Chain A
Amino acid sequence: SQQGEEDPQALSIQEGENATMNCSYKTSINNLQWYRQNSGRGLVHLILIRSNEREKHSGRLRVTLDTSKKSSSLLITASRAADTASYFCATVTGGGNKLTFGTGTQLKVEL
């Protein structure tokens, strides 16, 4: 079953704009991760935030985590056409051997 629900399901923006994607989950987590998937390809890990962290940065990516609301957001600043992809959140719970993925946000960045 899906642990996370992502919002919006699809997002279309212009190059240079910021893109924000949200993820909500249902149970307590050890960490939350964001992955990117180009069409027809495997997923690539972007960033991990632990349950005791509130914010994390990596290049143009900024992730926040609110464990009280069981939600996370991914912000991509100054988007580029090459950022066009699907973005998934995934949570690690309990013993930590499994990821449970959200439903994903399809991001399209137009020139």
Chain B
Amino acid sequence: SQTIHQWPATLVQPVGSPLSLECTVEGTSNPNLYWYRQAAGRGLQLLFYSVGIGQISSEVPQNLSASRPQDRQFILSSKKLLLSDSGFYLCAWSVGGQGGNIQYFGAGTRLSVL
């Protein structure tokens, strides 16, 4: 069966520090991968998605970047965090085509930038 791992669960970082959040998927090949951010009490904002290794689509211009160095690995990064980067970050995967793009989510990372 497929599983998705996202870590860390909680992260407190000072303003100006770098960020690296990692997400890995097991049990499937060539998944679509997604990074979302969720502000408190709000819906999900799509940040990046990837349909293959090295293929990254950015949805919102911001202080973050994403990379997909391996088929089932998706990394969210920042060189210098801003206060506004605080939030709940979620990784997800899906299989395209006939599956209708049902997405499967990780447990999330709560990022606090202080």
Report how far A96 CA is from B44 CA in the complex, Å.
Answer: 17
Interface size class of B (residues with CB under 8 A): 20 to 34
Flag whether A103 is at the interface (Cβ < 8 A). Answer: yes
| Chain B interface main SS type | strand
CA gap between A48 and B101 in the complex, in Å: 10
Residues of A within 8 A of B105 (CB): 42-44
Q: How far is the CB of B60 from chain A (nearest CB, A)?
A: 9
Which A residues, 2 to 35, have Cβ-Cβ distances below 8 Å to chain B? 2, 4, 30-31, 33
Q: Are A88 and B108 in contact (CB under 8 A)?
A: no
> How many interface residues does A have (CB within 8 Å)?
26
Q: Report the bound CA distance from A61 to B95 in whole Å.
A: 24
Q: A43-B92, A96-B96, A97-B49 are in contact. List 10 more A-B contacts (CB 8 A).
A: A30-B100, A41-B107, A42-B92, A43-B103, A43-B105, A48-B100, A96-B101, A98-B46, A103-B43, A104-B43
**Which residues of B come within 8 Å of A, CB atoms?**
6, 32, 34, 41-44, 46, 49, 51, 59, 88, 90, 92, 96, 100-108, 110
